[in-house]
Structure 1
């Protein structure tokens, strides 16, 4: 209760300080402050899955949950920041820009409100997407955040950049077939490290599609890349892991 009061006072102070900011020259600072205020009013341990489209982010989360909870397809689909928290039943809540909320059992409604349209654009009227799921890991106070891919439209990239600022742990998904591209390195530097977001874990997907000798070489090279970036993780915790997301999901179904 005491912490809640402290958070409320901090949020009030930050919101008051916004009035002193020159919006035009400090737009990024203002947005980060607003995002931080939103986070402090609803503190959870938030784990975001981050990376370009078609890297298997939603598939990875589905494998962790043990079901096809989030939309996955051969064509990249995630068109919203989808928060997954604990609940005794699987439900989806969509919040629209006019304040209306739509709550339905299951997750089929995600196909209508949380995927990209035919022009690969997000819906402009959706401000929040929340899924509840009865998984013991989530019951400990963990929230998963499934983010849109970052190698597409500017609107998606701005959404991802803003939401990363509210997260306690970032899982950056890498494609073993492409190693870490220049764009991924720049996003790691500009969106995370330069903003003092240092709790980052790299997860390498698609290694199973390479020959055994290639797998060893790629993982060795990625380990060197991962170790070159500083990380704010507990002692003894690696910041590089391998996962074969789709086979893992199939094994859980």
Structure 2
């Protein structure tokens, strides 16, 4: 069975409910309701093209924002906050409508990226958004981003240089003094001359010198690749320990 047939079969089996909406290009489309976390109005002031694509500021962070046409008019735009249970993206629309049940007969779409098929609803042909394609084609932001506690040395380097790198890589950041240093799942980052009194497996030590002293496990503070790899390794080990404990 090919992908289009699989999509039709899935709809037939599930009796999927969907949200009907008007898109920014004037077309009426629908998306599976299960992927819609909420619908809200986003002020234009929170939408910016940064890092080569459009982003929406939400709860102190940013998520990718998809828009099939340029949002215009008024002071904001309606946004579908979409989630797969782990990550989140936004989809800008013109106006949400009612919730409908998709019919069993779905015509597969051809040469329409992001559209899984076409359904007839109340006598009107409606394109069905493909959430799998949306999440596969974006770099969605995790709704449960790991927390990094920055044990700052007073110079402002961590907030100025390190925090933007970590947040752009999907991590949350907070000052070590603002929260519980032993917060479960958090990783503390500190400089080698400012040790943190927390378990070694929850600390990454950064050094100012390029070369490490013999036996040191510290990371040069400008070695971005090594830093992100070390954070990912810690998270992988922590996830493994959690699974074993369960």
* TM score, norm. by length of structure 2: 0.25
Higher RCO structure, 1 or 2 (CA under 8 Å, sep 6+): 1
Q: More helix per residue: 1 or 2?
A: 1
The alignment's TM-score, normalised by the length of structure 1, stands at 0.24
Q: Choose between structure 1 and 2: higher strand proportion.
A: 2
The structure number with the bigger radius of gyration is 2
